[in-house]
Every structure is written in C-alpha cells, then in structure tokens.
Amino acid sequence: MGLQVGCRLRRCALRLATTAPTGTAATVGEESFRRDLRSYPPGMDTYTAPLRDVRFVLEHITPLTALTATEAFAHADPELVMGLLEEAGRFAASAIAPTNRDGDTQGSVLSDGEVVTPDSFKQAYRQYVEAGWGAVQHPAEFGGGAFPLAVANAVKEFITSGNMAFSLGPLLTTGAVYLMQHHCSQEQLDAYVPKLVSGEWAGTMNLTEPQAGSDVGAVTTKAVPAEDGTYRITGQKIYITYGEHDLTDNIVHLVLARLPDAPPGGKGISLFIVPKVLVEDDGSLGERNDVQVVSIEHKLGIHGSPTCVMAFGEATGGAVGELVGEPNQGMRQMFTMMNDARLGVGLQGLAIAERAYQQALPYAQDRQQGRGPDTPPGEQAPIIEHADVRRMLLTMKANVEAVRALCYLNAHALALAHAAPDDAAREEHRKLADLLTPLSKAWGTDVGVEMTSVAVQVHGGMGYVEETGVAQHYRDARIAPIYEGTNGIQALDLVGRKLPMDGGAFVKAFLGELRTEVDALPGSLSAIAEALHEGLDAVDRTTAWLGEHRESFDDVAAGATPYLRLLATVVGGVLLARGAAAAQRLLDDGASGGDAEFLAAKVTVARFFATQLVPAAVGLEPSVTAGAGDLRALDAGQLAP
C-alpha cells in the first residue's frame, strides 16, 4: 500500500509540474535595478531544491538504509525516495515558489467575517492536494504514503523554502493527524483523519489565550457536557495559524479547554475536536459550527499566513466539540502535536536560510563593485571576490548544511523510535529524539534569522529595499524562534528535562559517542578533529557544571540559552565531520569531475565550520557557568534608561 501511494505521489507531482523556471535566481547590477525596481530580479521567485545535498545527508549522515531495514519502512527504497524527492523539488520550485512574493504583498485579509488568502495560494493548494504531498508520512490505512519522517521532512523543507507562509497550513494539519493517531477513538479517526491526510480538510491547534501564552495551564476556555455526549465550548483563542481560510471546505480545530470540575493549572486541561463545519454520520458536511474568526493579525512577516483570533460559542452559547481521550489529559495530548511541530519549525529555519542563500549567492556572483585580489587596474570585480563576502557566503552554506544534518538526524531518530525492531532500540532512539528536538527548534530557527540577515548584508543597500525580495526572508524567519515554545523555553526544556534523562547517563553516553566518532576521523581531517575536541571538551565541562548546580536552578536557567547554542553547534560540527569523512573516502576511491568538486566542498565546509564557527560557540562557556548573579543584580528601576 505504501509503495503504491509513493508511486502515485511521484506520478501526480510529475503531471502537475509546470514550465516555470527552476534554476537559481537571475541577478542584475545596481544600474539595472534602478531602471526597473519592479522587475528585479527576473527570477526572484525561483527556487531550486538542494537535492544533491539532501541525497548526501540521507546516504552518509543519517543513512536511509537504517530505516529501510525495518519492516515499517522496507518499501522506502532509496531510488524510489530520490525519485519522490525530485518530483517534490520540482513541485516546490514550479508551483509553490512563485507564490512567495504574491503571498507577502497581497497577504491574507479578513472580509465580511471570512479570511481570503492570496490569489496564488488557491491554485497552489489545489495542486498540493491533488499531488498528495501532505500524505507522505501518514499511515497507508488513511491514504498516506507511509514514508519515514526523514523523507517527509525533506518534502516539507522544499515546500517551506518555496513559501514559508504557505507551508504553515499543511504543517499544522500534519501535526493534527499525528496527534489524532495517538489519542483519538477509532470513530474519530474514521471521521476526520482521511480528509486531513488528503489535505481536503485542514487542522489547527488552539492553545494560546490573551492571559495564557507560554503558560498554557492558565487557559480559561470552558467545555460543558451536553446531553448528546458532546460538549459546548466557549472562549477565545489568539495567534491561531490558519484558524480561518478559504483553502478547504472544513477546518478541524483541536482546542484546549476546561471541564466544569477540572482541577486548576495544567492538570485540568482537556482536549476537544471542534470542527468549523459539523460532520454528519455518513461523513458529509452538515451545519456550520459556532466557530468564528474575530480578527487577523498584521504581522512583521508571513503575511500570506492568516494568524487569527478565534471565538468559540459566542453566537449560540457553545460550539460543538468532542472530547479526545480521557478528561484532563489535554496537555499531554497536545504535546504530541507540539513536539512534531517543533521539529517542523526548526526545519523552517533551515528552509528559509536555504532560500535566502540561493538568492544571495548569484547576486554576489553578478554584482560588480571594488577590486578583488586579481582584478586588473581600472576594472571592478564581482563582490564574491571580496574576502568578507566569501566569509558571509561560506557562513551561510556551512550553517545551512549543519542545521539540515541535525534536523534530519532528529527525524531519523523519531522514525526509529517507532520502527526499530526491539523495545530497547526504540527507547534509545526516543531519548535521542527528545534530546535533539529543542536543539533543532531553537538553533535551527536562530540560524534561520541570522542567515537571512546575512543575506541582506550580502545584498548591501539593495537588500534593505523590499523590491529585491531578500528582506522578506528576514521578516518571515523572525517568527520561528517565537512560536511553538520560544527558544528560551526550548533551552529550559533542554537543561531541565533532557540533560537529567537517566540521571544524566544518556547525555553522557551520547557525548561519548560523538567523541569516539571524532577520534576516528582520518588524519587528513585532523584540523576538524582538533577543533571538535575543543568543542566537546567545553560541552563536557558545561554539562557537568549544570548538573552540579541543579539545586540552584536559577543559575542553571541563566546558562540554558548559551548552553543550547554551544551543544547544538558542536553536534552540527560532528555531523558535518561525519559527512566530510564519507566525502574523503569517496575522493580516495577515485571520485572525479563534478562529483569530486562536490565532495571536496563537503570537506572544506566541515573544516570551516569546525575551525571558524565552533570556536565562537566554545566562547559561550563563561556565559553558561556565570550563574544568575548579574542577571538579578539590577532591579527594574536600574534597568530603566
């Protein structure tokens, strides 16, 4: 079944691929730009999926063969997977990327109580559904392709690079399916999941309220039992991504609310299915539920994604909802969805940084200014000849590849946490996924913001002008460190919950495995090994310090964010070194031509990351171990200007 669905996905994507250009963006110099801002650059909406790098990661850093060796993913033959990803890349380039500019300039708007999405989104979403791209990772029993998450995340990366604002709707739908698989009754699964898997319906999660942001336990939305076994939901939710839109016939809201006799705090939260349109027993759509959009936010970026204030039950005294699982289990259930979404958000940082890099590189190759080392007198050189521009481009490339390796390893571990052949192996992979998720989310999104900012810098003054398009990437990326748990919360989760796993033994063993891998690097990669050993030494020291100071958690919390940055950077460096070792083996075996150039670049990028970027992270060690003293030394009055 999974194989048949996979083939269908490939055929549909091929049929739907248009003739829009899929190469890197064309660029022009300042004079051409000034002649016609509206046409700069002619290919600004183009995107090329990084298939070669993705294939390298799936072959040499997070081996797909380890997944296909399991019964659950035996059908995910590597060549089938690469064919699938080629079509996904073609689709993202031809159908999604051209909507990015339109989505930003037109945006989603509220009109007569309905949200109207950008014109280009409607055709793109219809093609997305017809091709079945949202079904890649879901079970075959619900019409999914049953491919491992590592493969599905590659598809998500391409779609997100094409248009981050567009991708947010499918991301939430995927998370809703994932949650329902784990916590809903069979009747609920049959009623909702097939349409969510196909993309005919959309899903959301409704947590946040004005007084309950990150403190979800403070929600006050009410759920009162009705005589027919359903519940009547009343309250408002804010910041609901795609809470209302015109892309699907129905929207299935997953809503946190309190039952009348619920205990206070997070222990008294229950989860409810509240569809926009009620579903009849035969699966057809019935009456409109009492779910309304109050307003949509005017945001810094992701303008095409409607961020809604939602009202439940204001017209009739209660929207109809169905309880998911047992009462007062909503927090645990919702975190199933949130953890899936957190990796997806980390992937957004990667995807937007990749898109910004693809725009910065050709600009630097074309923009003429100043003289390079070998430029004849009286002539100008492309700015890529300047050392500082080279540093910026290589910093972007190295960070993108490191975050990709980390996010794919995270997905790899999640897949094996479900598909590994025995309980012990599944548990080890679950713990690894738990450890990596805050790294993927926080470091991935921080890197996304930083690298899109670097892309603006590469463009110089042109980058600060909206018509170039590069500023949009920076604006779009800025939300990712905030939602699905701010990056500060991810850091607290890391030091408060993940480091203490098994009394600290799991993290200690993981770091030992990384050190063993670095020890095994060939002599030709000795510079990489030396730099990574210094990074691992700093991680060992700071990990020990955090463990020794757990009784003073304020001190631990003060060092949490720099610690996450340090750990994630070193892990990323080791993963790049893993790729460099594989590349070196292939070079030693006689790789030639374009393959040799690609592999040699892998070695150089890994060396640059280890020797020039990891040391900056090692410099964070004093920040990790400083404690909270100076953070608490000034009161609010002293902090004032």
Mind listing the pLDDT tens digit for each residue in 160-210? 999 999 999 999 999 999 999 999 999 999 999 999 999 999 999 999 998
Task: Identify whether the C-beta of residue 551 lies closer than 8 Å to the C-beta of residue 429.
Answer: no
In a domain, 584, yes or no: yes
The domain containing residue 557 runs over which residues? 496-627
Does position 34 have pLDDT exceeding 90, yes or no? no
Checking DSSP bridges between strand 201-206 and strand 250-257, what pairing results, if any? parallel
- Active-site pick, 484, 513, 530, 548: 484
What tens digit of pLDDT does each residue of 613-633 get? Answer: 999 999 999 999 999 999 999
Does position 2 have pLDDT exceeding 60, yes or no? no
Q: What confidence score (pLDDT) does residue 3 get?
A: 43
Does position 99 have pLDDT exceeding 60, yes or no? yes
Does position 377 have pLDDT exceeding 50, yes or no? yes
Q: What confidence score (pLDDT) does residue 40 get?
A: 42
Spatial CA neighbour of 216 closest among 324, 347, 337, 297: 337
In a domain, 573, yes or no: yes
Active site residue 513: no
Spatial CA neighbour of 522 closest among 606, 612, 598: 606
In a domain, 310, yes or no: no
Q: What confidence score (pLDDT) does residue 508 get?
A: 98
DSSP tag of 314: T
**Largest interatomic CA distance in the chain:** 87
Does position 1 have pLDDT exceeding 90, yes or no? no
Q: What confidence score (pLDDT) does residue 46 get?
A: 85
Does position 38 have pLDDT exceeding 50, yes or no? no
Does position 211 have pLDDT exceeding 90, yes or no? no
CA-to-CA separations, 199 to 116, 135, 136, 159, 460, in angstroms, rounded: 18, 8, 11, 15, 41
pTM: 0.93
Q: Tell me how long the chain is.
A: 641
Distance, CA of 394 to CA of 305 (rounded, Å): 31
What tens digit of pLDDT does each residue of 411-446 get? Answer: 999 999 999 999 999 999 999 999 999 999 999 999
Does position 17 have pLDDT exceeding 80, yes or no? no
Does position 18 have pLDDT exceeding 60, yes or no? no
Distance, CA of 621 to CA of 315 (rounded, Å): 56
CA dihedral 147, 149, 151, 154 (to 10 degrees): 150
Does position 105 have pLDDT exceeding 50, yes or no? yes
Mean pLDDT of all residues belonging to the chain: 92
Q: What confidence score (pLDDT) does residue 45 get?
A: 66
Torsions phi, psi for 19 (to 5 deg): -95, 10
In a domain, 570, yes or no: yes
User: For 22-36, 300-314, 445-459, 473-487, which range has the lowest pLDDT when averaged over its residues?
Assistant: 22-36
**Residues 264-285, mean pLDDT to the nearest whole number:** 95
Does position 36 have pLDDT exceeding 80, yes or no? no
Does position 9 have pLDDT exceeding 60, yes or no? no
What tens digit of pLDDT does each residue of 123-172 get? Answer: 999 999 999 999 999 999 999 999 999 999 999 999 999 999 999 999 99
Count the domains in the chain.
1
User: Residues of the chain with pLDDT > 90: what percent?
Assistant: 87
Q: What confidence score (pLDDT) does residue 212 get?
A: 77
Q: What confidence score (pLDDT) does residue 39 get?
A: 41
CA-to-CA separations, 57 to 151, 403, 527, 591, in angstroms, rounded: 11, 11, 22, 18
Task: Identify whether the C-beta of residue 237 lies closer than 8 Å to the C-beta of residue 220.
Answer: no
Give the pair of three-digit tokens for residue 560: 């949490």
In a domain, 308, yes or no: no
In a domain, 414, yes or no: no
pLDDT band, residue 567 (cuts 50/70/90): very high
What tens digit of pLDDT does each residue of 510-534 get? Answer: 999 999 999 999 999 999 999 999 9
In a domain, 619, yes or no: yes
pLDDT band, residue 23 (cuts 50/70/90): very low
CA atoms within 13 A on the CB side of 315: 11
**Residues 444-449, mean pLDDT to the nearest whole number:** 98
**Residues 36-61, mean pLDDT to the nearest whole number:** 77
CA dihedral 628, 630, 633, 636 (to 10 degrees): -90
Q: What confidence score (pLDDT) does residue 8 get?
A: 55
**Residues 341-349, mean pLDDT to the nearest whole number:** 95
**Residues 450-457, mean pLDDT to the nearest whole number:** 98
Give the pair of three-digit tokens for residue 608: 């640059």
Give the pair of three-digit tokens for residue 49: 């999926």
User: Residues of the chain with pLDDT > 70: what percent?
Assistant: 93
DSSP H or E segment with residue 574: helix 560-588
pLDDT band, residue 218 (cuts 50/70/90): confident
Does position 26 have pLDDT exceeding 60, yes or no? no
In a domain, 263, yes or no: no
Does position 113 have pLDDT exceeding 50, yes or no? yes
What tens digit of pLDDT does each residue of 289-314 get? Answer: 999 999 999 999 999 999 999 999 99
